[in-house]
Structure 1
Amino acid sequence: MADSSPYADDLRLAHVLADQVERITMARFQAADLVVESKPDLTPVSDADRSCEEAIRAQLARSRGRDAVLGEEFGSSGNSQRRWIIDPIDGTKNYVRGVPVWATLIGLVDGEDCVVGLVSAPALGRRWWAAKGAGAWTGRSLAQAKQIHVSRVSQVADASLSYSSLDGWRGLGRARNFLNLTSDLWRTRAYGDFWSYMLVAEGAVDLAAEPELELYDMAALVAIVEEAGGRFTSLDGAPGPWGGNALASNGLLHDEILRRLAPDA
């Protein structure tokens, strides 16, 4: 499993980080004294977000002191081609309202290559992970896991799409094409955030797309989707998490969906 990857030790460390953070996030989830503030972009941040990222950074400083770190709450530190990219709580709006669909995202990028990804969603009782060359897995630990694979659906009329919301598609020249696509699909659901992409990796849905994302929203997801046999690009088709938006698929549908979601001329 993980030992077949040159990044096996990094994946084990990601599990250690997730174990530490789960104790923080679950202790503060639905806490009556949870402190929630608005960031300059008017998105919410809780004391749990900051505590989680601080804990991850402290462990990485001890275990991977030469690696760089990028996190949602405290920005970038270090200068290395190896960079840990962290979203302490993806789905903060859910977290602060008591909705259990949120997760800690831990990714490792080596150069431009997403080589490790771990998604920890303890309120759902789920964890997903992958290391380059070792497949994608879900379970509670490395010792208790099953391998996951994307679906084999090859026709748009048979495909299921998950997204986050309609708001981001407006004003980008893609809204009409997105709505037209949803009419041609078998099923659409807004499971949202990390979960859409993990469902693609598991083969439960066939497509996930979002028009506006940050690097820390995506970096941990890429290795999991790709190691499950899928494809992860920007909406313009650039591989990986570098384009500011995302399309993940089982691979069979990818090129057609890129074409269908291209901006209006």
Structure 2
Amino acid sequence: MVAHDDDLRFAHVLADDADSQTMSRFRAPDLRVETKADQSPVTDADKATEEAMRRTLGRARPRDAVVGEEFGAGGYGARRWVIDPIDGTKNYLRGVPVWATLIALMVEDEVVAGVVSAPALGRRWWAARGTGAYTGRSLSSATRCRVSAVTSLDRASLSYSSLSGWEKRGLLPAFLDLTRVCWRTRAYGDFWSYMLLADGAVDLAAEPELALHDMAAPSIVVEEAGGRFTGLDGTPGPLGADALATNGPLHPEVLAHLNQPES
């Protein structure tokens, strides 16, 4: 299946340009930071990077729609590019190198190609539907991603972002119950949780508050690496407002923990 090879190569071009933009402002002493209406931070690098990607998309893919974190949706059509210029803005503005640009192409409601580029880590992950997931510095220097073969929670490593979102959703007791039965828990957070899952380094990742731009690119990398990506209710794909990703065998048991009835 090579239907989206050209789109994936183009996504890498977008990622190359984004890397140049984001790295040029990373740890810059004059980095400008504002607070959005939802109280999350946004930097001048977030805005400039998304604007640059939108300009490139407008020239190279004028018929495609675009959905971005900073400037919303633009255009109409069955094909839409879903972009997050800097996933992990709080890390970015504090000089922590764990952040990435997320780029995905959706056709109707299916993600068909995606790139996750973390230039400060010197890593990139990508996938196209039906062709597998890969990681490396470039298309010419890549290794296949495969999820782990862990089959029991008492041997599983869980990655998450924070506890506050679980508390806000009223899901903190269920989430804490899950952490108690896992072998190990670490808050790697954001895109990093899902890429570690695709690499086979962790076995499950979950977040209670997300948007499409947070999930589209990571979801196809996880799935093409052999894992599962759903909402916390088990609905497949990245179209909900939360996420559960696992290596596959662990998914039903994790869903049971997170959806246990209140006592």
TM-score category, normalised to shorter length: over 0.9
Structure 1 ranges of 4+ moved more than 4 A:
none
Alignment partner of 1:185 out of 174, 182, 186: 182
Alignment partner of 1:51 out of 48, 70, 73: 48
How much has 1:263 moved relative to structure 2? 5.4
1:93 is aligned to 2:90: yes
1:168 is aligned to 2:165: yes
Alignment partner of 2:250 out of 249, 253, 259: 253
| TM value normalised by structure 2 | 0.98
Q: Distance in 2 between matches of 1:243 and 1:62?
A: 30
Matched residue of 1:188: which SS? strand
The letter for the 1-side match of 2:102 is L
Structure 1, unpaired ranges of 5+: none
Q: Distance in 2 between matches of 1:102 and 1:171?
A: 24
| 1:147 aligned partner | 144
Q: Distance in 1 between matches of 2:106 and 2:114?
A: 9
Q: Distance in 1 between matches of 2:211 and 2:246?
A: 19
The letter for the 1-side match of 2:92 is Y
| 1:60 aligned partner | 57
| 1:120 aligned partner | 117
Q: Distance in 2 between matches of 1:171 and 1:24?
A: 34
Q: Distance in 2 between matches of 1:226 and 1:107?
A: 14
Residues 10 and 116 of structure 1 are in contact (CA less than 8 Å); yes or no, is this contact kept in structure 2?
Answer: yes
The letter for the 2-side match of 1:241 is P
Q: Distance in 2 between matches of 1:264 and 1:45?
A: 38
Structure 2, unpaired ranges of 5+: none
| 1:26 aligned partner | 23
How much has 1:209 moved relative to structure 2? 0.1
Residues 174 and 264 of structure 1 are in contact (CA less than 8 Å); yes or no, is this contact kept in structure 2?
Answer: no
Matched residue of 2:15: which SS? helix
Alignment partner of 1:84 out of 81, 84, 107: 81
The alignment yields a C-alpha RMSD, in angstroms, of 0.8
Residues 157 and 186 of structure 1 are in contact (CA less than 8 Å); yes or no, is this contact kept in structure 2?
Answer: yes
Matched residue of 1:42: which SS? coil
The letter for the 2-side match of 1:108 is L
